[in-house]
Structure 1
Amino acid sequence: MVNKMKEFIITTDTTCDLPIEYIEEHNIKVLPLYYSFDNTVYGDKINLDIKEFYDKMRSGNMPTTMAVNPDTARNIFLNLANEGYDILHIAFSSPLSGSCSVAETVARDLMEERPGIKIKVIDSLCASLGEGLLVHKAVMMKKAGKSMDEIVSWLEDNKLNLCHIFTVDDLHHLRRGGRISKTTAIIGSLINVKPILHVNNEGRLVPLNNVRGRKKALISLVDLMEKRIEGFENENDIVFISHGDCLEDANYLASMIKQRLGIENFLINYVSPTIGSHSGPGTIALFFMGNSR
């Protein structure tokens, strides 16, 4: 007798930055990360409108952030398991948040308590729509009939080919997060320096170089992409772009990519509050498959 393969469901974090319409269409379950303004916590059932969130930051009101709550993660995983699903969880990069560790601990505890439960947690080593693009790849593979184990194997083998390159408009947000020094932030702001950063193989934010001016920064993102997609042209049927409430710049970036690289399909969405708290308004981030991060 052939055992029937158990149905599985894909879960991820709010930091994947996928549009709610995409989440609902593909039945993805999401673990919330949190942010707070003035002692009010948002991120689960209570949320600010995304433009209101960025307007608060522009006015100088700085949020704090919190990882996934273990009890919430347990309840979501347990409810799905009780519905008969195996669970494939694609988590926010572990060096950037404790959320991956929370998911791993909850999954391990549940599988020990209930041997019939199967939960696989992938440390994506990705952020924002980089994490979202990895989720998208898993969704497309599931739709094509791949098993959970096959998808897990592909994700682990290919996640370091998922490139993240981005720029920020205000260096002071990176300074608050400890990414650059206060002196660097002040001097850089005075001379209109825009840093180009990426997420490296360890899943950390790392500076690549600096350019003068916003337009040159956006052009630099496409220059870097052009080098990194060599050999991976056929892996980029769609490119993801996230932005910190600067849709016009995101569309400009997409138009440059279309003109220079011939890519037609884009998914563009906001950088969610948990990540936007650290990157700030004006962030532009580009995600695609490439030969190296």
Structure 2
Amino acid sequence: MIHIITDTGSDLPKQVMDDLDIIMLPLVVQVNDEEYFDRSTIEPKQLYTYMKEGAAPKTAQVPPSLIKETLESIAKKGESAIYITLSSGISGTYQTAVLMKNEVLEDYPDAKIEIFDSQAASLGYGLMVYEAAKQAKDGKTLDEIIHTLKHYVEHLELIFTVDDLEYLLRGGRISKTAAVMGTLLKIKPVLHMEDGKLFPLEKLRGKKKVLGRMVEIMKERIKTSDPISTIGISHADDVETAQALKELIIEETGNKNILITMIGCAIGAHAGPGTIALFFLNTPLKES
């Protein structure tokens, strides 16, 4: 049996995790001098309420002891595991997981454990976890699943926008001058991910224009007319805009295979309420 493990930065809906027996480990959120486990002792909507009231949350990686305990319990049973982590470019969880794996291998040298750096965030690697878990259920081998994950790393696209530039300022993504001017001019940035890190792409005025441009970029980057895998949309407490983006994608591409989810605390703490993100493969999956 191959267990698929991930952390709460993947923003997968609970129903999907339950249906596919995905093991979810919580990232840590610190807000108002309290420490919480993402989606366990604090839910995203509560965090967004705190942020709208002026709180400036911080996040931390999954506790090492929890990673080791999880991997050890699987190794004891002689079963296999793939832990798909939040991008090492924005979190230390991947490096910690590798260390914990090595500790487990000292006691269980024959254990088959893979730690995989998604090089993605939010539902971007949620889609990777989703596909890996489906393949594990279908009886695919460890190598076959890793092949699929590598395809996602090479071909996954992330396009997103934020509602308030203040949160990007706090995270050091933009300058104070850019944040002030952007707010005054009602500028909304379009950002994307390269090599596991976030970078600005374009600046537009008005939410409607931004959504239209996100779909245009998606169409420009998809390199085939063949059907692509599930498209992901994640939102930070703005389901109406997420739904509008979904309808626009269907209208423009005819693709209805779209999964919508709320951005959890681990990612939302940095992006802020109102963030909208779009994830898709620019090349469809091929059989290994």
1:232–1:291 CA contact under 8 A, matched in 2: no
1:143 Cα offset (Å)? 3.2
Q: Distance in 1 between matches of 2:146 and 2:242?
A: 31
Deviates more, 1:36-45 or 1:63-72: 36-45
CA-to-partner distance for each residue in 1:226-268, whole Å, 9 max, x for gaps?
11113164223x2111001000000000000001000112211
The answer to whether structure 1 residue 53 and structure 2 residue 63 are counterparts is no
The answer to whether structure 1 residue 133 and structure 2 residue 116 are counterparts is no
Partner in structure 2 of residue 218 of structure 1: 211
Give 1:227's aligned amino acid.
E
Partner in structure 2 of residue 4 of structure 1: none
SS of the residue 1:76 aligns to? helix
The answer to whether structure 1 residue 290 and structure 2 residue 263 are counterparts is no
1:36 Cα offset (Å)? 1.4
Q: Please, which of 76, 82, 85 is the counterpart of residue 88 of structure 1?
A: 82
Matched residue pairs, number? 284
1:167–1:195 CA contact under 8 A, matched in 2: yes
**TM-score after normalising by structure 1:** 0.93
Give 1:269's aligned amino acid.
T
1:47 Cα offset (Å)? 2.0
1:170 Cα offset (Å)? 0.5
1:136 Cα offset (Å)? 1.4
Mark the runs of 5 or more structure 2 residues left unpaired by the alignment. none
1:15–1:128 CA contact under 8 A, matched in 2: yes
Partner in structure 1 of residue 198 of structure 2: 205
- Of all paired residues, the percent bearing the same amino acid is 39
Superposed counterparts of 1:42-191, under 5 Å: 42-43=36-37, 46-191=40-185
Deviation above 4 Å: which 4+ runs of structure 1?
none
1:142 Cα offset (Å)? 2.2
1:232–1:289 CA contact under 8 A, matched in 2: no
2:85–2:118 CA contact under 8 A, matched in 1: yes
The answer to whether structure 1 residue 248 and structure 2 residue 240 are counterparts is yes
The answer to whether structure 1 residue 274 and structure 2 residue 266 are counterparts is yes
Cα 1:218–1:44 change in 2 (3 A) is closer
SS of the residue 1:9 aligns to? strand
Deviates more, 1:21-30 or 1:142-151: 142-151
Larger RCO (CA within 8 A; separation ≥ 6): 2
Cα 1:186–1:42 change in 2 (3 A) is same
CA-to-partner distance for each residue in 1:48-96, whole Å, 9 max, x for gaps?
2322211111111121111111111101111122233211111110010
Give 2:206's aligned amino acid.
G
Partner in structure 2 of residue 228 of structure 1: 221
1:144 Cα offset (Å)? 3.3
Mark the runs of 5 or more structure 1 residues left unpaired by the alignment. 1-6
**TM-score after normalising by structure 2:** 0.94
Q: Distance in 1 between matches of 2:231 and 2:39?
A: 30
1:197 Cα offset (Å)? 0.4
